[in-house]
Amino acid sequence: MKVLLYFTTFRQFEENKHQVTVLNKQNNLPEGVIIDIILHNNNSAYNYDMIRESFDIDKLKENRFINDVKIIHTDKNIGYLWGAQEALNDNFDTFMNYDYVIHLNTDVYMCNLVKIMEYMKEQLATEYTFFVNKFRNEGYKTDFCFFKPTCNVYQYYNSERTKSKLKPRAIPESLLEYSIKVNNVKYILLPETFIPVKDPKNDININMKYVYHIHDLKNSIPFIVKN
């Protein structure tokens, strides 16, 4: 099973460094899993070398399951709201060589890749293409989801005609839901253990949750790194 981790980032240098630590702690994935990584950055104030310094490619490759790591830096950026969808659309052809693409922001940390990969293996032969979490009543979360790259649901990110149809408001989460449904893409809501936990502290059993969304680096990162 070949999986691409596709990170979208703008100014998260510290988060990039912590991703390397968290990923390299997990070196016991199911056999047959091959992981490639792409880190996409669309901050025109940065350059490749600055990003590379925060995302240690050589260290990541010490993990026996990680095959290839690439950094894409571009100054093409439609703006804060739709920039990640633009990055997904522009590189969708790259995804076709994979069984799955996991899209996440670099402030979202997968702390139980074993369970995530086991779930993906179970779903590999099913009809489901998109695996999502609900975002309130406004669509599906865009900071963490994964999919089999058979249909580019991100192609409408710059379509004002499409955005005018989004309810209750035009945001990436409602566009993702709309695009999945209008293209008749088979989807499934992820189990509760896949719903990102915001800023965990030591009152949460890290073994019971797989994904963490961290803004409070000072207090939350030490917790997930030590577990």
Each residue of 74-107: pLDDT tens digit?
A: 999 999 999 999 999 999 999 999 999 999 999 9
Specify the pTM.
0.95
Give pLDDT, residue 219: 81
Examine the pLDDT at 69 and tell me if it is beyond 70.
yes
Residue 226: how many other CB atoms lie within 10 Å: 9
State the average pLDDT for the chain: 92
CATH among 3.40.190.10, 3.90.550.10, 1.10.1060.10, 3.30.70.240 for 2-192? 3.90.550.10
Edge to edge, what strands does the sheet with 130-132 contain? 66-73, 34-41, 2-9, 100-105, 144-147, 130-132, 187-189
Domain boundaries of the chain, sorted by first residue: 2-192
Q: How far from the centroid of its chain's Cα atoms is residue 173's Cα?
A: 14
Examine the pLDDT at 61 and tell me if it is beyond 60.
yes
